Chain A
Amino acid sequence: MNLQIRIRKPLPHFELSLDVNCPAEAMTVVIGPSGAGKTTLMRIIAGLDKPAEGFMQFGDEVWLDTKLRVFVPPQKRRLAYVFQDYPLFPHLSIHDNAAFAAGAKKDVVQELLERFGIGQLQDRKPDAVSGGERQRCAICQALAREPRLLLLDEPFSALDIFTRRALRDELRNLKEGLGIPVIYVTHDVNEALYLADGLLPIVEGRVDREWMQRSLARVNAAKSERAKAVRDPRLSLAY
């Protein structure tokens, strides 16, 4: 099932105005500088924000149509949304957090916890595990609901580089088996290139392919510098 989005929402400094289509069973990476409206877009897809006007359809299900006053509330969209520094429920253990969603199945939860390597931590409270483990739990919680669409809003950017890389790899492996559309938000071009099936560059609320070209050129230019850095330890401090 693919997701069709056509929305307009005025924001303080510019207007978010998009007409995009996220293909089924693919990872669309939304990329752009900070404050470009990426998170607002995700919140609109999730149903936490409403655009001024627009239309959104998932498969053959209309989620939003401002003309016909259609609005499906977030709890009925059956999607999953993991954001940066995702808050787990502080009063529940890791296991209960993962199993929190409506209709989460016990064996599915157990399998997910094992798969993400936090099975042995399941009786701990969120404040007794590391940030990486919390984020793993957040992903388990999101997937336990067997969502039809997965939204990831800079899910790993609050983590240290090693944990981030490990989780990024796990996510790439996971994507193959999921068979649902994934929308991933980042401002890191390298991360985008590593994960994406399709890129959606957003600058100041609009799709901006030129910005993408410039960023790609910059990444390519930096590549040789980085290769140098590996050989030259003094330079490597910069990376």
Chain B
Amino acid sequence: MPPTVVGFYLLIVMDPEGWLGGLWKGATGSPILFTFAGIVIASITYSIPFALQPMRAAFEKIDPRLIESARILGLSPPAIFLRVILPNSRNGIAASAILVFLHTLGAFGVILMVGGSVPGQTRVVSVAIYEAVETLQYGSAAMMSLALLPICYIFLLVVHRLTKRSPS
């Protein structure tokens, strides 16, 4: 789905009239649109597939016999999850975390729709770069882009190394 479409639906749901916006307003007394909490929820929704996919791949790679023997050894399902599944899919979880991190860092359309551009609240760097370019402040835009590059590069490098090496 295009980010602006996700953003549009989120906008409707998170509107003070919408169910999530209404719920939030009931709990905190203020609307959720154009706040930091709002863009957190938006980017989570936007990134769910990127979190699920590598994690599921890692979980499916675990030998089902390990789970069977853990059951016979007396572990309850939550204990199996913590003591067998999580430690054996660390790489997949790390890869999924980094993908989500980068994907959120790059989110633009969703955040602009749901959060707008409130300085100190919802004006994240992708939005700031866009606005800098719009107002012809090319120097500022270049600086911010330059600051993002090494961050993204390092994270991608880590993803690459984690996904290449077979788990344990």
Physical contact A–B (CB less than 8 Å): yes
A residues lining the B interface (CB < 8 Å):
46-48, 73-81, 83, 86-87, 89-91, 100-103, 141, 145
- B63 contacts partner chain A, Cβ-Cβ < 8 Å: yes
Q: Does B74 contact A75, Cβ atoms closer than 8 Å?
A: yes
User: Given the complex, which residues of A lie within 8 Å of B146, measured CB to CB?
Assistant: none
- B69 contacts partner chain A, Cβ-Cβ < 8 Å: yes
Q: Does B72 contact A74, Cβ atoms closer than 8 Å?
A: yes
Quick one: given A91-B87, A91-B168, are A141 and B73 in contact (CB under 8 Å)? Answer: yes
22 contacts between A and B (CB under 8 A): A46-B72, A47-B72, A48-B68, A48-B71, A73-B71, A74-B68, A74-B71, A75-B71, A75-B72, A75-B74, A78-B74, A80-B72, A80-B73, A81-B69, A83-B65, A86-B65, A87-B63, A89-B70, A89-B88, A90-B88, A100-B83, A101-B74
Quick one: given A90-B88, A90-B168, A91-B87, are A101 and B65 in contact (CB under 8 Å)? Answer: no
Q: How large is the interface on B (under 10, 10 to 19, 20 to 34, 35 or more residues)?
A: 10 to 19
User: Given the complex, which residues of A lie within 8 Å of B72, measured CB to CB?
Assistant: 46-48, 74-75, 77, 79-81
From A47, A89, A101, name the one whose CB has the most chain B CB atoms within 10 angstroms.
Answer: A89
- B84 contacts partner chain A, Cβ-Cβ < 8 Å: yes
| Closest residue on chain B to residue A138 by CB atoms | B69
| Closest residue on chain B to residue A141 by CB atoms | B73
| Closest residue on chain A to residue B74 by CB atoms | A102
B residues lining the A interface (CB < 8 Å):
63, 65-66, 68-76, 79, 83-84, 87-88, 168
How distant is the Cα of A41 from the Cα of B87 in the complex, in angstroms? 31
How distant is the Cα of A86 from the Cα of B72 in the complex, in angstroms? 13
User: Given the complex, which residues of B lie within 8 Å of A79, measured CB to CB?
Assistant: 72
**Smallest Cβ distance from A78 to chain B, in angstroms?**
7
User: Given the complex, which residues of A lie within 8 Å of B76, measured CB to CB?
Assistant: 75
User: Given the complex, which residues of A lie within 8 Å of B79, measured CB to CB?
Assistant: 102
| Closest residue on chain A to residue B64 by CB atoms | A87
| Closest residue on chain B to residue A90 by CB atoms | B168
Q: Does A145 contact B73, Cβ atoms closer than 8 Å?
A: yes
From A48, A75, A77, A83, B75 is in contact (CB under 8 Å) with: A75
**Smallest Cβ distance from A80 to chain B, in angstroms?**
7
How distant is the Cα of A87 from the Cα of B64 in the complex, in angstroms? 10
| Closest residue on chain B to residue A151 by CB atoms | B72
User: Given the complex, which residues of A lie within 8 Å of B66, measured CB to CB?
Assistant: 87, 89
Given contacts A74-B71, A75-B71, A76-B74, 13 further A-B contacts (CB under 8 A): A48-B71, A75-B74, A75-B76, A81-B72, A86-B69, A87-B63, A87-B65, A90-B88, A91-B87, A91-B168, A100-B70, A101-B74, A145-B73
| Closest residue on chain B to residue A46 by CB atoms | B72
How distant is the Cα of A73 from the Cα of B168 in the complex, in angstroms? 30
User: Given the complex, which residues of A lie within 8 Å of B65, measured CB to CB?
Assistant: 83, 86-87
Q: Does A87 contact B168, Cβ atoms closer than 8 Å?
A: no
